[in-house]
C-alpha cells in the first residue's frame, strides 16, 4: 500500500504549480495573429474604418456603430435613438421606399440593428460579391435617409407596438425599469432606451432631422468590414463614404456624473405578476473602468457560470424555481447581480439571505487561483472560438473603445488576463457592499401572495407536492 504521506508529497507540488500558474499565452496566440491582419485607417472626414480579410470565408459582414444612444436624448425626446434605428431601414435618397429591403432579400443578406444606452449599431452579412452594393446602400441611408412624414408615422406606430410587446404587456418589466432608472433620473441614463410613449407619439419630423444632423456624422461612426474582401474594398469605401462631409460643430463630449450610492430596497405590485421574484443588484463600474474585467469575472464566479457558487450551492433540491444572472455595463456605470424566483416552500427573504452569504464568503475568502484560471480560460475560449465568425468580428471591431483603438482584439483580453485573486477579493469588498446594493421585490396580486405565504407555512414535502401538481 502506498504511504499516504508519500502520495501527498507527489501530488501536492503538482497541484501547487497548477494553482499558482495560469499560463494562457499559447492559447491566446490566435488573437494576436488575427489582430495583426486588421487594417485601421481614419478618413479625412473622421470616419474610422477597420477591415479584416478572412480568405477562407465566403461571406462578408459589415457593422457600423454610431456613438449615439439614449444617453444623448434631450428631455421630451426620449426614444429618438431607437426610433432612428427603425427609420434607417425605410429608404434613402437613392434607394427610396423598400428598395433597401428588396436588394438585401435578393442577395440573401442577414441584417439587423440594435440601440443601447451608449450606441446604435447596424450590421449585415452577405455573399462577398455584393460588397459594393451594401456599401452604397449603407452610405446612402446613413447620409440621406428618407425622413418623410408618412415613414415617420409608420415607424412611430411600429415602435409603440414594440413597446407594448416588450414592456407594457410583460409582468414586472416596465415598473421595475421605471423604479431603477428613477434612482438615476438626473443622469443621462435616467430613462429607458425605448423611450416614453408620450415622447414617441410627439416626435416631429423637424426634431428627427435635427437629431440626424447632430449625431449621424462620419466622425461619430466606426465602420468594420470583415470576410472575404475584394481588392477594390478600400476604393469602394472611399467612393461611398469619403465625400460625406463632417459638420463644423464639435461632437458632444461624454458627460461626467456621479451616482449617489446608497442601499436601496423597494417593492412593487404588478396585477400581471404570476409569482414573486426579487431583483438583487450591486452598483459596479462602466466597461472602460480598470475594475471592469475583475467585476465581470466575479459576476461569473458568483452567478453566471455553470459552476458558479450559487449553482453549486443549489445543486440538489434548490429553493428557487428560476433565476437569471443579470449584468449591465454602460460607459460610465454598471450593475451586477441576478433575478430570482422562489419555490413554493421558500420565501424571498430566505433566498436573498443565501445570496448575501455567498457574496460575504468571497469578500472574506476570495477565489482560488485555479478557479480564476478556469474563468479566464472560458472567456478566452469564447473569444478564440469566434475568430472565423465574420459577423461577430465586424460587430466587435465596430464597437472598439478609444481605450482599445490600437489593439481592438487583444487589449480586452489582456485586461482580463492580468486580473489576480487579490483583485477579485478587492472588488468584492469594494462594490458588493450594502451601500451599493439594490433589492427590488416583484410581487403578484394579493391573492397569489396570500396563497404563497400559506405554502411557506406547510411542511416542505407537502408544499413540494402541491407545487408539483400545480406545475
User: Three-class SS string for 342-371?
Assistant: ECCCCCHHHHHHHHHHHHHHHHHHCCCHHH
pLDDT at 6 over 50: no
**pLDDT tens for each residue of 349-380:** 999 999 999 999 999 999 999 999 999 999 99
pLDDT in the model for residue 366: 95
What's the rounded Cα separation, in Å, for the pair 120 and 113? 7
Mean pLDDT within 204-233: 97
pLDDT at 9 over 90: no
Q: Is 52 exposed, middle or buried (0-12, 13-18, 19+ CB in 10 A)?
A: buried
pLDDT at 178 over 80: yes
Task: Please state which of the ranges 106-115, 189-198, 217-226, 457-466 shows the lowest mean pLDDT.
Answer: 457-466
Task: Please state which of the ranges 56-60, 190-194, 224-228, 460-464 shows the lowest mean pLDDT.
Answer: 460-464
Q: Mean of the per-residue pLDDT values for the chain? A: 92
pLDDT at 2 over 60: no
H or E stretch at 322: strand 320-329
What's the rounded Cα separation, in Å, for the pair 357 and 365? 12
Q: Which of the four pLDDT bands, split at 50, 70 and 90, describes residue 464?
A: confident
34 closest CA partner among 61, 55, 49: 55
pLDDT at 287 over 70: yes
Mean pLDDT within 83-112: 96
Percent of the chain with pLDDT over 70: 94
Mean pLDDT within 261-288: 93
Task: For the chain, list the domains and their CATH numbers.
Answer: 41-241 (3.30.830.10), 264-470 (3.30.830.10)
Amino acid at each position: 500500500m502506498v504511504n499516504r504521506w508519500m502520495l501527498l508529497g507527489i501530488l501536492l507540488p503538482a497541484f501547487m504549480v497548477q494553482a499558482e500558474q495560469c499560463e494562457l499565452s499559447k492559447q491566446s496566440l490566435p488573437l494576436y495573429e488575427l489582430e495583426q491582419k486588421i487594417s485601421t485607417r481614419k478618413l479625412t472626414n473622421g470616419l474610422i474604418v477597420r477591415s479584416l480579410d478572412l480568405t477562407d470565408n465566403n461571406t462578408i459582414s459589415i457593422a457600423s456603430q454610431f456613438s449615439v444612444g439614449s444617453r444623448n436624448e434631450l428631455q421630451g425626446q426620449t426614444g429618438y435613438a431607437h426610433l432612428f434605428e427603425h427609420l434607417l431601414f425605410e429608404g434613402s435618397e437613392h434607394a427610396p421606399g423598400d428598395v433597401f429591403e428588396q436588394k438585401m432579400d435578393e442577395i440573401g443578406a442577414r441584417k439587423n440593428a440594435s440601440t443601447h444606452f451608449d450606441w446604435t449599431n447596424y450590421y449585415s452579412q452577405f455573399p462577398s460579391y455584393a460588397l459594393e452594393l451594401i456599401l452604397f446602400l449603407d452610405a446612402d441611408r446613413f447620409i440621406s435617409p428618407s425622413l418623410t412624414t408618412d415613414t415617420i408615422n409608420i415607424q412611430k406606430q411600429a415602435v409603440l407596438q414594440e413597446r407594448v410587446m416588450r414592456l407594457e404587456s410583460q409582468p414586472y418589466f416596465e415598473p421595475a425599469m421605471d423604479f431603477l432608472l428613477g434612482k438615476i433620473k438626473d443622469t443621462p441614463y435616467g430613462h429607458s432606451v425605448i423611450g416614453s410613449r408620450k415622447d414617441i407619439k410627439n416626435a416631429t419630423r423637424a426634431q428627427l432631422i435635427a437629431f440626424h444632423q447632430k449625431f449621424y456624422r462620419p466622425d461619430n461612426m466606426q465602420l468594420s468590414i470583415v470576410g472575404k474582401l475584394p481588392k477594390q474594398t478600400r476604393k469602394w469605401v472611399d467612393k461611398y463614404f469619403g465625400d460625406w462631409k463632417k459638420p463644423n460643430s464639435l461632437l458632444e463630449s461624454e458627460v461626467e456624473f456621479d451616482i449617489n450610492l446608497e442601499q436601496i430596497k423597494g417593492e412593487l405590485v404588478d396585477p400581471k405578476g404570476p409569482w414573486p421574484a426579487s431583483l438583487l443588484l450591486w452598483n459596479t463600474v462602466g466597461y472602460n473602468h480598470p475594475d471592469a474585467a475583475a467585476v465581470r469575472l466575479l459576476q461569473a464566479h458568483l452567478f453566471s457560470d455553470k459552476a458558479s457558487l450559487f449553482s453549486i450551492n443549489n445543486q440538489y433540491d434548490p429553493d428557487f424555481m428560476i433565476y437569471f444572472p443579470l449584468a449591465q455595463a454602460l460607459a460610465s456605470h454598471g450593475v451586477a447581480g441576478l433575478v430570482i424566483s422562489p419555490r413554493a416552500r421558500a420565501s424571498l427573504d430566505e433566498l436573498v439571505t443565501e445570496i448575501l452569504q455567498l457574496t460575504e464568503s468571497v469578500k472574506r475568502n476570495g477565489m482560488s487561483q485555479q478557479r480564476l484560471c478556469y474563468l479566464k480560460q472560458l472567456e478566452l475560449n469564447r473569444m478564440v472560438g469566434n475568430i472565423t465568425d465574420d459577423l461577430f468580428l465586424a460587430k466587435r471591431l465596430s464597437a472598439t473603445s478609444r481605450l482599445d483603438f490600437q489593439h481592438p482584439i487583444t487589449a480586452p483580453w489582456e485586461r482580463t488576463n492580468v486580473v489576480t485573486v487579490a483583485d477579485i477579493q478587492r472588488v468584492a469588498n469594494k462594490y458588493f457592499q450594502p451601500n451599493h446594493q439594490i433589492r427590488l421585490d416583484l410581487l403578484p396580486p394579493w391573492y397569489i401572495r396570500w396563497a404563497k405565504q400559506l405554502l411557506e407555512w406547510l411542511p416542505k414535502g407537502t408544499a413540494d407536492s402541491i407545487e408539483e401538481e400545480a406545475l
